[in-house]
Amino acid sequence: MSQTVQMALDQVRQWIHDAEAQANRPAGAVQLIAVSKTFPGDAIREAYAAGQRAFGENYVQEFASKVAELSDLDIEWHFIGPIQSNKTRIVAEYAHWVHSVDRHKIAERLSTQRPSAMPALNLCIQVNVSGEQSKSGCAPEAVGDLVRQIGLLPNVRVRGLMCIPEPTADQVLLAKRFALLCQLRDTLRTEGFELDTLSMGMSADLALAVGQGATMVRVGTAIFGARDYSQKQTGN
């Protein structure tokens, strides 16, 4: 196993621990999702050998390939990228979590294609907290209705909310984006929805997200290094 991956994981785990302590949250309150998109299966094996079990993928074709290649490992797969409605089956059959649901149609297809013998597929609703026209995600004011609609579907379970704020160095603005997601989750809880997950925060803003209530952080670059997108899958 590469010492680089082990050391990087140890560093990220320490960042999370420090952020939890700074926010007066219990140790272990935040789960690390290692975002392995564009990195080879060997890199995932190295991280797995270092104790990492949850991995995030963005592209359906790449996800399918890695599921097959790494079938001997007990990986908790998190699908975190946009899903085209005609490419939901592989996600429904092999993912444990989907963080990027923003339409009822996608949830409905995941529900229909989820094998009934498997546990319910855990879903997070992706919320466009920054209002960017080009970004995926449900509008904040539409989240409640979407959660209610998806809650009626079999074989899937809404566990929480996810966001990817706009890139910015403005820490106050970022904190507001994360706080909005937390507020939306809390409001839905008061309406009786059992939501326990906030998927927010990446390599650059991990501590800020933890401070605003993140329960899952999605970290790739800080673990695996810079990505080479020239080899990126062309299709979702």
Q: Answer yes or no: are the C-beta atoms of 26 and 47 closer than 8 Å.
A: no
> pLDDT tens, 194-213?
999 999 999 999 999 999 99
Quote the number of domains for the chain.
1
**Would residue 155 be called left, alpha or beta, if left means φ above 0 and alpha means ψ between -120 and 50 degrees?**
left
Looking at every residue in the chain, the average pLDDT score rounds to 94
pLDDT band at residue 234 under the 50/70/90 scheme: very low
Assess if residue 233 is contained within a domain.
Answer: no
Assess if residue 232 is contained within a domain.
Answer: no
The CATH number of residue 158's host domain is 3.20.20.10
Assess if residue 43 is contained within a domain.
Answer: yes
Assess if residue 234 is contained within a domain.
Answer: no
Assess if residue 122 is contained within a domain.
Answer: yes
> pLDDT tens, 135-157?
789 999 999 999 999 999 999 99
Domain interval for residue 149: 3-227
For 178, the token pair is: 């994360």
Assess if residue 236 is contained within a domain.
Answer: no
